[in-house]
Chains A and B, each alone.
Chain A
Amino acid sequence: MIRYALTRLSLLLLGLLVASVLIFLTLRVLPGDIAQLIAGTNSTAEQVEAIRERLGLNQPLPAQYLEWIGGVFRGDLGSSLLTGSSVTSELAEKSQVTVPLGILSLTIALLFSLPLGVLSAMRRGRRAGTALSVGAQALAAVPVVWAGMMLVVVFAVWLGWLPAQGFPRAGWQDPAAAFRSLLLPALTIGIVEGAMLMRFVRSATMQAVGQDYVRTAAAKGLTRNTALIRHGLPNVGLSVITVLGLQVAGIIVGAVVIEQLFSLPGIGRMLVADVSARDLPKVQGELLVLTGFVLVVGFVVDLVHRVIDPRQREAT
């Protein structure tokens, strides 16, 4: 087990290193640069060049990369060329919006996808089961943006229960207001992600129903549903944990879209703004952290999988 964990960890670190190179290079391919943006549309080539020089954009790429990655190893992810603020502090500030948003979205997604997914599998062939399955299919196909707009129209504009956009300026010092402002965005992501998860839970459950151990249990006198719940669901849980890693990545992407739509000052909106400002040192720091996060979630999921699945434990 420990050997597996170590191998897996070194893979994770290698993955991060490769990601850092890819992130760095991809960003350098983007046309346009920050010096030109600062100088604007009434500037001479000399003025732009002076700004470029001051910002260190004229150094050769390998030198820029090494400087950055060297900083990363010392715990310095870099800083904004526009405001001088560090990537670490910016991420810390913006994660006060994005992390609760992500957790809330995931909770909502799990809360309705798990029971409904299992239910729809157990009731398959009957009207309720079919309805649930088709409903999930339809919801999963809904664009996040449209879902968000509809929720805003109903809950913010018509009913006035929840804010239509924005995050309180006092932040979490006003916990109730902060929570309320995240509810609609989280519901939007949660419904769309949850619908996808529900389809997965349904098919995993159906698969479990057909397994020998469930049939054996049923043959020993348990009702089919009890057999499924006692012996089938733990296996469903395993598959769900595996797919959760992917869901987390999906939620991050969802947050980028939803934070625009709801004008939330989170990591997603910051990332989009930084890319359009070509603030590359900041973008690459942010992307590295996000990539790292997704990789770590994958790592943890793999470990957890090992720990709770006896078959895999024995294999090592």
Chain B
Amino acid sequence: MLRRTALAATALLAAGALLLTACTGGGSSPDPTTTSEPDTDASAIIRLVLEPGNLDIRETAGAALDQILVDNIYQGLVSRTPEQDIVPALAEDWEVSEDGLTYTFTLREGVTFHDGQDLTPQDVVWSLTTRKNTPEWRDSARLANVATIVADGQDIVLTLTAPDSSLLWNLTGRAGLILKEADTVDYQTKANGTGPFVLDTWRQGDSITFARNDAYWGEPAQVAEVVFDYIPDNQAALNAALAGEVDAVTGFDANLKEQVEATGDFALVLGQSTDKGTLAFNQASGPLADQRVRQAIRQAIDHEAFVESGQSGETLYGPIPSLDPGYEDLADVAPYDPEAARALLAEAGVEDLTLQLTIPSFYSTTIPQILVSDLNEVGITLEVNSVDFPTWLNDVYVNKDYDLSFVLHTEARDFENWANPDYYFTYDNPEVQRLYAESLAATDEAEAADLLADAARIVAEDAAADWLYNGASVVAVGTNITGMPSVNVNERLNLAELAKSDG
């Protein structure tokens, strides 16, 4: 008897779940803008996926730190908008000399750190100098061209040994963050910056809470606090949204659009990103050393299928995504053509090729599935080796012990890796390295971008890797939330404008 009841209950549940999905079919997407007044006492809860291991912005790598700490807690002289434009931050203004060798920043006055200490020009000089001279600090090499850093009143003057078209951009990231000189704060678990939010609490394994910085030098934040709730699983995040436990969900799955919009409390927003789904080829030796084999793999892969399965993002056929300078559509370099792929493999004399794909286990299993079936189509057997991220770092990144590797490279403007023969991409083309160096040395932005575009085309033509897709930022935003960033949120989540209304 009980068994029947249990079975019936199960069937009911399953049917109900289907119903829940089905009912939402015709729902119109709600408008994320709101008419009611923002509530400045509000607490906004944002779902994030990956919790940082610690908060040491000086030393610990990982987009999970940049995402929440840069702009909100720590600031540099300059910052970047989601659209990747460079804007003033702690510097009111800056000037670059004609020859590109001298940068003069005018430091804002009246800026204080979260602990109440004043920001002085000396703090800026100390921060940049220490960053440059401490190899263990992230991105210290990005200041390699800087020869001297001095303060002259409120002016901070950087002189360079050679022009560096990436310097301003680099200063918007870790390399340019300004800390208090000789600060005694425990950077691993606490923070002391100049941004619009103050680190309130970090409940490890659960959430991080930021409170509004009432002594902020600029426009104060519109919410009293922001809670970053770390929920790894997308289904759990969907449930949290439906139960009204979060106000915005980042890193979401666009396939769940109908479910999350069903109640009318959320709207799914797709933004561009610099996430590059990179299928790296170990071309140091073996069959992958042959350009024809790599090209065959690229042409065997149906790139549209990745966009289709994720219901988001766009195709990408070269190393530079559309948000970055130097982008051009390189679809002509590797069109989907299994027939051509088979011909290339025959020409290269490759038969019964078996390759291993090393892929961190947190990515969707759809990715290896598509690859296995596409490559099987042209006679390549792909074995999937799903590993945890530290293992990937060890095997692929450090030891370069792999055939094919997949990871999502989220960083913006990271072309440098294609010009670095020691990088795990194992790609070594002196022409690309020369073009990249010239692009860095260019004093004109357009010229620098053109040189990058030339280099990127060569990388694509060499089939140095394949790019499965350019991901999108998928964010479900509560209809009572405004100012939630939607572009490249894996990299940066600037919450200065975030507001929540009672509605």
> Which positions in A face B, CB cutoff 8 Å?
30-34, 36-47, 50-51, 54, 82-85, 90, 94, 127-128, 131-132, 134-135, 138-139, 149-150, 152-154, 156-158, 160, 163-167, 169, 260-263, 265-266, 269-270, 273, 276-279
Is the Cβ of B3 less than 8 Å from the Cβ of A156?
no
Give complex CA distance A46, B138 in Å. 13
Give complex CA distance A44, B239 in Å. 42
Among the listed A84, A169, A277, which residue makes an inter-chain contact with B227, where contact means beta carbons less than 8 Å apart?
A: A169
Stretch at the interface among B27-35, B205-213, B286-294, B428-436: B205-213
Chain A residues closer than 8 Å to B414, beta-carbon distance: 42
Chain A residues closer than 8 Å to B395, beta-carbon distance: 31
By DSSP majority rule, is chain A's interface helix, strand, loop, or mixed?
Answer: helix
Among the listed A153, A156, A263, which residue makes an inter-chain contact with B16, where contact means beta carbons less than 8 Å apart?
A: A153
Give complex CA distance A38, B231 in Å. 22
Among the listed A85, A166, A273, A278, which residue makes an inter-chain contact with B240, where contact means beta carbons less than 8 Å apart?
A: A166
- A-B contacts, 12 of them at CB < 8 A, read A32-B393, A33-B394, A37-B61, A37-B390, A41-B397, A42-B414, A43-B61, A50-B136, A128-B2, A135-B3, A153-B13, A154-B13
Is the Cβ of A38 less than 8 Å from the Cβ of B232?
no
Is the Cβ of B61 less than 8 Å from the Cβ of A38?
yes
> Which positions in B face A, CB cutoff 8 Å?
1-4, 6, 10, 13, 16-17, 20, 51, 53-54, 59-62, 135-136, 138-139, 186, 188-189, 201, 203-207, 209, 227, 229-233, 235-236, 239-240, 242-243, 245, 387-395, 397-398, 409, 411, 414
Is the Cβ of A131 less than 8 Å from the Cβ of B3?
yes
Give complex CA distance A167, B245 in Å. 11
Among the listed B53, B235, B411, which residue makes an inter-chain contact with A82, where contact means beta carbons less than 8 Å apart?
A: B53
Among the listed A37, A46, A82, which residue makes an inter-chain contact with B393, where contact means beta carbons less than 8 Å apart?
A: A37
Give complex CA distance A165, B394 in Å. 34
Is the Cβ of A138 less than 8 Å from the Cβ of B245?
no
Is the Cβ of B2 less than 8 Å from the Cβ of A169?
no
Chain A residues closer than 8 Å to B62, beta-carbon distance: 40
Is the Cβ of A263 less than 8 Å from the Cβ of B229?
yes
Q: A32-B390, A278-B390 are in contact. Are A131 and B16 (CB under 8 A)?
A: no
Q: Which residue of B lies closest to A271 (CB)?
A: B205
Is the Cβ of A38 less than 8 Å from the Cβ of B59?
yes
Chain A residues closer than 8 Å to B243, beta-carbon distance: 156-157, 160, 163-165
Among the listed B136, B239, B387, which residue makes an inter-chain contact with A157, where contact means beta carbons less than 8 Å apart?
A: B239
Q: Which residue of A lies closest to B137 (CB)?
A: A47
Among the listed A37, A94, A131, A149, which residue makes an inter-chain contact with B235, where contact means beta carbons less than 8 Å apart?
A: A149
Q: Which residue of A lies closest to B407 (CB)?
A: A41
Q: Which residue of B lies closest to A275 (CB)?
A: B388
Give complex CA distance A153, B15 in Å. 12
Is the Cβ of B6 less than 8 Å from the Cβ of A277?
no
Is the Cβ of B236 less than 8 Å from the Cβ of A262?
yes
